[in-house]
Structure 1
Amino acid sequence: MEKVKAILFDKDGTLMDFHSIWIKVAEELVAECISLYYLPSTMRQTLLEEIGVEGAFVNPRSAIAAGTSLDVAKGLCNYIESAREEEMHQWVSEKLFSLMYEHRSHMKMTADLPKVLQALKDKGFILGVVTADDFAPTELFLRQYKLENFFDYIIASDTFPAQKPDKKIIEVFCEKFNLESCEVAVVGDTPTDLHLAKNGDCYAIGVLSGTGDRPTLEPLAD
């Protein structure tokens, strides 16, 4: 086994408590979408399920749990004939950030992250964030808890040309920090995170702090 020198963390469900804010944000996003496009209120549950929310349960493979704002927009467009994907994507991206900002007091960490991250930095690890979320809400969370200085690199869906689980993410990260892929571990709560690790020949570490459960993650984890 090669010595791990760098760790890439997923954000939602790994660093940030997913359920502390995302279900609320998803419900309000759908409500505003229904209002904007004059849809019947009976569409609410259909749209929520389309993006991955079923009551208090969130599908770990869904757009809201593991996808990008574009994935969420595409899901909504499946039910709104008049919506153009590009315009919907812009609206979803802006609305998600505004809702995250509005409800930022609900954002919680999954653990005592300053303590955990400081311990890792003290041991010399290179740390990064790789998220399907956009950069603005990612930065909002990191700054709220004063975590931004722990991370050497942040990969967000709107600031990087590839999305999880594309191995290009690992290749660029390794090139930037002069690493071999076997020296990198990816930590995440969804199958997409662990598939990123497998595609990039990294170590895959699954955590149960988010939407993924043990039966889903264990077969993919090292």
Structure 2
Amino acid sequence: MIDTVLFDKDGTLFDFRATWGGWAASFLLDLSSDDPVKAAKMARSVGFDLQDRRFEEDSVLISGTPGDIVRRLLPHVPGVSAAGLVSRMNVMAAAVAQHEAVPLKPLLRDLHGRGLRLGVITNDARAPALAHLGAAGVVPFFDHVIGSDCGFGQKPGPGQILAFLEMTGADPARTVMVGDAPHDMIAARAAGCRRVAVLTGLATRAQLAPMASAVLADISGLPGWLESRSETRIDAA
């Protein structure tokens, strides 16, 4: 019986392309003081096509933490401290309008009502993650929201997931991690958890299928997947 579901945030709860393409372009132009040449150079350093607003497959903007992104950008902004740039980026990220991958409230209310523990495991910082979840009105459904700055490392390491399991007493064998990227699947496997991938991020089915028990179009398919598991029995409250 699966009794705990952990979600990645960007690309899983929220559609990655719809949310972050415009933000990345705006952030880079702001950081370059609207110098398009400088902004394009910074964009290349983080794996982003400024003109097409397209993320490269290995872009640090996809799976990196705020600190990872800032380390790539600092050489282009002399005189700016790493801490100052992280703060600036987090403030802008917290304000970006999120595009829900599916209507979140009804889905999470349903899962929560079935007695499942729910959590968010994200490589984003915790403050902007809480801002995004708060704007969607779904924070109360989650037992814990663990960001890359909470002291437990970052995905693809398993530290954040293991911290959630320890905080709640959840059994990894009865826990499923839902994510859109290979690093979500790697982290979950290292923590001993089940793995479900979704296609609302940037990774393809071909990339995710070998690493996951199932690949769903989006998280709306999760209740059906849970109920289809022969070892899973979820009784609606």
TM over 0.5: yes
Tell me if 1:97 matches 2:93: no
Aligned residue among 1, 6, 9 for 1:8: 6
Aligned residues: 211
**For residue 121 of structure 2, what is the aligned residue in structure 1?**
130
| Contact 1:69–1:133 under 8 Å retained in 2 | yes
**For residue 59 of structure 1, what is the aligned residue in structure 2?**
56
**For residue 24 of structure 2, what is the aligned residue in structure 1?**
26
Q: How does 1:181-200 map to 2 (within 5 A)?
A: 181-200=172-191
Q: How far off is 1:157 after superposition? A: 1.4
Distance 1:80 1:16 in 2: 30
Tell me if 1:166 matches 2:157: yes
| Contact 1:14–1:189 under 8 Å retained in 2 | yes
Deviations 1:113-160 (A, max 9, x none): 111111111211100001111112111111111100000011011223
| Contact 2:22–2:53 under 8 Å retained in 1 | no
Partner of 1:21, secondary structure, is helix
Residue segments in structure 2 that go unaligned for 5+ positions in a row: 214-237
Deviations 1:196-217 (A, max 9, x none): 1111111111100112111121
Identity in percent: 27
Distance 1:6 1:44 in 2: 42
Q: How far off is 1:83 after superposition? A: 5.5
The one-letter code of the counterpart of 1:49 is R
Distance 1:60 1:202, change over 3 A: farther
Distance 1:122 1:101 in 2: 28
Tell me if 1:206 matches 2:197: yes
Partner of 1:119, secondary structure, is helix
Distance 2:73 2:180 in 1: 24
Q: CA RMSD in A?
A: 2.1
Partner of 1:129, secondary structure, is strand
| Contact 1:51–1:62 under 8 Å retained in 2 | yes
The one-letter code of the counterpart of 2:6 is L
Q: How far off is 1:81 after superposition? A: 8.1
The one-letter code of the counterpart of 1:80 is H
Tell me if 1:80 matches 2:76: yes
Instruction: Compare 56-65 and 211-220 and name the one that shifted more.
Output: 56-65
Distance 1:119 1:80, change over 3 A: same
TM-score normalized by structure 2?
A: 0.81
TM-score normalized by structure 1?
A: 0.86
The one-letter code of the counterpart of 1:173 is F
Distance 2:57 2:206 in 1: 12
The one-letter code of the counterpart of 2:69 is V
Residue segments in structure 1 that go unaligned for 5+ positions in a row: none
Distance 1:13 1:144 in 2: 17
Partner of 1:35, secondary structure, is coil
The one-letter code of the counterpart of 2:9 is K
